[in-house]
Structure 1
């Protein structure tokens, strides 16, 4: 099906919006009136620009407060409509959106509304234009799609049809099944938007919190299925009012938008994409750092051993370049593997979590799925002995490598490293429990959709956590057995990108012992205020000696129906810190009730700038 996006969904000038839509792969656009009015280009120039970009102008919108008004006011509306239709002829647009009236002078008279809309359609037909009548969820007298359709049906004009908008229908709890009673040829346009489930005024909800399909809580796919059963053959078009999107760069937003429509088409059975290949584990986490020594000191205290050595380098260089001549060290304990990479790291950014290796049953198929969903495929310069790894970039820039460790027919990423053995004795870390990635402030919804759709991970509901300087949103994604867990988080403002660090959570069977060994080896744990433990004693009946150990080591505690969750944190190196986690098998959380205390403690221990 054709895809389209309303220019109001993107940031920038009209020219920038059109360019972004074209580059993202859209077939057409809805020209929003305010974008045209603010453009220095004449309508004819916009028409040519769209043609050069391969974009069809699917809709011009909106015309407001047209119908069910007194005669004198309607005469003025017809004059206004004539001017707009002339402009549309110059623009090359053949469909106009007319919203149900919110005008105080509008009357509750369906017959009058039908008669006046029929006159507007008569005038539009003279210009070769169709009128798509849409029910606004906050319309004065017409606020539901079935009511709007009854008026269109009463008018019975060939140039008058209806526009269906998923937000206006689903935000009011409307039943979309009735859409199938509308003839497909009378559905002139279909606008799509998702939204989080919020209890608020519907107008404010619409104007600020819409999002792309799959990013909210509406069953947009179910609505589209009903529309397609009518025989509708027009475009799937996105109309999304969102404060974040209108401040973010237009190019990535347009890509995210088009990805959402590809997924929607897959969901309703009109697009055939490569099937998801769900990752089965964390092969490695890669830290990029300008200085390996502080990271190495933390890893050493955590009980990790550096376990790699190059084949072809002399002993003088071996300590620096264990990754076949590249400045990458492999540290391991149990099944937890950390790569420390000093190649090209920017000193001002400090240490950061730059890449994740995901175990995959079919790396090539996983990469094909990612590429089909517009994920940037990363070029990788390989030496003659390097393992071939498919990699794509997540919305936040994190590199995702698809690995096949231990596969009998596929080369594994460990082939790039030569083992030094286990080194020092194991000290309690068994694997990576989860990874926490801080998202750029305008990529949170995109990141959740990306990890669900591209990687096939399940997403949990968003959680809001109080931070001393704002609000932190977090959403976890993972596979069904918990071998892959990723917590995505974002602060409330762009400046929060540097405040909320990334972290690697390491699983252990005994967090008290692991934390004690870490501290005894010279590691520094995050200090937790004593007030937290006073409250912990009030909330849970814990043995005094257990509570004392938690207080001494800065261990936090949570419990749900599945069991307990005990965890503590190292101090931060650059933008990264480590978490030691003891998770009962049935516990599905990530310590969210303790997050505000952790964030406050980290703020308190940040060095002054």
Structure 2
């Protein structure tokens, strides 16, 4: 697989972008003319830098408003083009992107348009330049890739081909199957972008909301399969216009982008038997093995877990680490981090093959995480997620590592399990977290939702294993709001009983306003005594056609808290109507 990326995908100056793309492992780069225009380096210096870093300049882009114009305007088009061709020569690339006319087109005549494209190609040939003609989704007369291909055929020049852009094709709902009817040698370039399903004008959608493959709603696997079956052998290039990516760290975004191409190529290889693009298959987790909370002093967490009815299973025989369990829900308290307030630092996942899971993560560019082990300790393979949270894979029974903890009691058989792990991200990290969850962890993205918080809407994207046993909701904080704390939800069979016993032991839960219970009584026909019991214990309630959900939240310790839940019937949600209550209650006092 040969990869490329448009410079417009990244923040910073052109030389910063070039260095980041090379470091991320891209083979080539598309130079956006606006990036070159504001660069202090000459085209020759940009070319030399790319050569030194082993990065090809695949294309200079874009050349706009070229065809479908009157003859006077077309004469000026040729003048503009001649200067761009000279710039491309100085950069050392032989390919220029020509976008269909979206501004100055006045002649809706294929014969005229094809003739003008042909003349433009003839001029390009004098400079050794090829032209890739692309149908913009908002092009005035040409906005369909099939139309663009017909015009290329009519012009009939050896140095004129087409450029296929997944956004321009899929955003308009065009069927990509006809791509296979295009001569693969005449597909001069391929640009890939994903996007969320939004109801807005296509130009704004394109300029601000494109995403890297695997983060949106486009079926890029089918799209790319059609392109490869047509015989295309050029680079898989990313062209993603996104306000977030153009403000975030250049190197991190480039690595994020490169991971998305690896994921996409692997998905296509899986469906189309291209074994040369395969990486180790995803290891779908079938259980949460443990959750790790780290901090300099976790004695308050010890006390809270005891109040909740967790069993102390002992201290690690070599490290300042303790294990608490409730049923098969295992919480590891790690005090090796001497400079941090309590925070969720690690997630252990049970998989069939930890070596393959680790190898896949490495192929996708996720760095391995160091974990100090001693002779006799069970070694868990680990990887660092984009935000630093460590993910561990275990393909052995939990007893292989829990036996390292001594001095505690035997576990219970309550049937409690980790129900879900709720992770929160600032606006600039959210899309990368979604891609990491799908590509590295093998989780599926569910439909996103939004809940109101005291500082704006919070977007929630649930990632889950195919069987629904492992659930990881990802929450996107509003741009101006602090990132909400993360939490671990434990499912038990009698949450009211757990709450009563914890309250008797002195644990105060997150306080719920009395107005909530008045609203609850109005929404559901609940027994008054039952509502009073919920009120007394600060329990929250939800119900749908499939079942009921009762839950409560502990106080927040640093950046983490716990949630105890009970699912009745076949309730499969997360108590979303109650999320605003929690967010408001957890808001720091001003």
Give the TM-score, by structure 1 length. 0.93
Cα distance in 2, alignment partners of residues 391 and 427 from structure 1: 29
Give the CA deviation at 1:591.
1.4
Give the CA deviation at 1:116.
1.0
User: Mean Cα displacement is larger for which, 435-444 or 574-583?
Assistant: 435-444
Cα distance in 2, alignment partners of residues 551 and 38 from structure 1: 62
CA-to-aligned-CA distance 1:1-59 (integer Å, 9 cap, x gap): 21111010111111111111111111111101111111111111111111111111111
| 8 Å CA contact retained: 1:428, 1:510 | no
| 8 Å CA contact retained: 1:478, 1:485 | yes
Cα distance in 2, alignment partners of residues 607 and 294 from structure 1: 22
Q: How does 1:112-261 map to 2 (within 5 A)?
A: 112-261=112-261
| 8 Å CA contact retained: 1:429, 1:506 | no
| Paired positions, count | 584
Are positions 1:448 and 2:434 aligned together?
A: yes
Choose the corresponding residue for 2:359, options 339, 356, 368: 368
| 8 Å CA contact retained: 2:105, 2:140 | no
| 8 Å CA contact retained: 1:97, 1:163 | yes
Matching residue of 2:548: 564
User: Mean Cα displacement is larger for which, 573-582 or 292-301?
Assistant: 292-301
Matching residue of 2:565: 581
Choose the corresponding residue for 1:289, options 280, 285, 295: 295
Are positions 1:357 and 2:348 aligned together?
A: yes
Give the CA deviation at 1:397.
1.2
Give the CA deviation at 1:123.
0.9
| 8 Å CA contact retained: 1:565, 1:581 | yes
SS at match of 1:391: strand
Matching residue of 1:336: 329
Matching residue of 1:312: none
Cα distance in 1, alignment partners of residues 445 and 143 from structure 2: 33
Give the CA deviation at 1:361.
2.0
Are positions 1:528 and 2:515 aligned together?
A: no
Give the CA deviation at 1:305.
2.6
Are positions 1:400 and 2:391 aligned together?
A: yes
CA-to-aligned-CA distance 1:472-503 (integer Å, 9 cap, x gap): 11111122333321111121216522xx0000
SS at match of 1:418: strand
| 8 Å CA contact retained: 2:11, 2:17 | yes
SS at match of 1:224: helix
Matching residue of 1:591: 575
| 8 Å CA contact retained: 1:285, 1:339 | yes
CA 1:334 to 1:438, structure 2 compared with 1: closer, same or farther past 3 Å?
same
Cα distance in 2, alignment partners of residues 111 and 560 from structure 1: 60
| 8 Å CA contact retained: 2:292, 2:346 | yes
Matching residue of 1:324: 317
Are positions 1:515 and 2:499 aligned together?
A: yes
SS at match of 2:241: coil
Cα distance in 2, alignment partners of residues 560 and 219 from structure 1: 31
Give the CA deviation at 1:457.
1.7
SS at match of 2:197: coil
Matching residue of 2:537: 553
| 8 Å CA contact retained: 2:24, 2:255 | yes
SS at match of 2:482: helix
Cα distance in 1, alignment partners of residues 131 and 105 from structure 2: 22
Give the CA deviation at 1:126.
1.0
Cα distance in 2, alignment partners of residues 233 and 404 from structure 1: 39
Q: How does 1:53-72 map to 2 (within 5 A)?
A: 53-72=53-72
User: Mean Cα displacement is larger for which, 355-364 or 133-142?
Assistant: 355-364
Are positions 1:420 and 2:404 aligned together?
A: no
| 8 Å CA contact retained: 1:429, 1:514 | no
Cα distance in 1, alignment partners of residues 408 and 300 from structure 2: 21
Cα distance in 2, alignment partners of residues 558 and 399 from structure 1: 33
SS at match of 2:189: strand
SS at match of 2:213: coil
| 8 Å CA contact retained: 2:455, 2:481 | no
CA-to-aligned-CA distance 1:430-484 (integer Å, 9 cap, x gap): 1211111112322212212211221212221111111111121111112233332
Q: How does 1:72-111 map to 2 (within 5 A)?
A: 72-111=72-111
Cα distance in 2, alignment partners of residues 481 and 267 from structure 1: 20
Matching residue of 2:24: 24
| 8 Å CA contact retained: 2:105, 2:141 | no
Give the CA deviation at 1:139.
0.8
Give the CA deviation at 1:87.
0.7
Choose the corresponding residue for 1:391, options 374, 378, 382: 382
| 8 Å CA contact retained: 1:288, 1:345 | no
Give the TM-score, by structure 2 length. 0.96
Are positions 1:300 and 2:303 aligned together?
A: no
Matching residue of 1:541: 525
Give the CA deviation at 1:353.
0.2
| 8 Å CA contact retained: 1:358, 1:400 | yes
SS at match of 2:473: strand
Give the CA deviation at 1:534.
1.8
User: Mean Cα displacement is larger for which, 157-166 or 266-275?
Assistant: 266-275
Matching residue of 1:311: none
Give the CA deviation at 1:380.
2.4
The gaps in structure 1 that reach 5 residues or longer are: 309-321
Q: Extract structure 1 runs of 4+ deviating beyond 3 A.
A: 426-429
CA-to-aligned-CA distance 1:188-220 (integer Å, 9 cap, x gap): 111110100010011000011100111110111
Matching residue of 1:279: 285
Give the CA deviation at 1:378.
1.2
| 8 Å CA contact retained: 1:457, 1:477 | yes
SS at match of 2:316: coil
Alignment root-mean-square deviation, CA: 1.7
The gaps in structure 2 that reach 5 residues or longer are: none
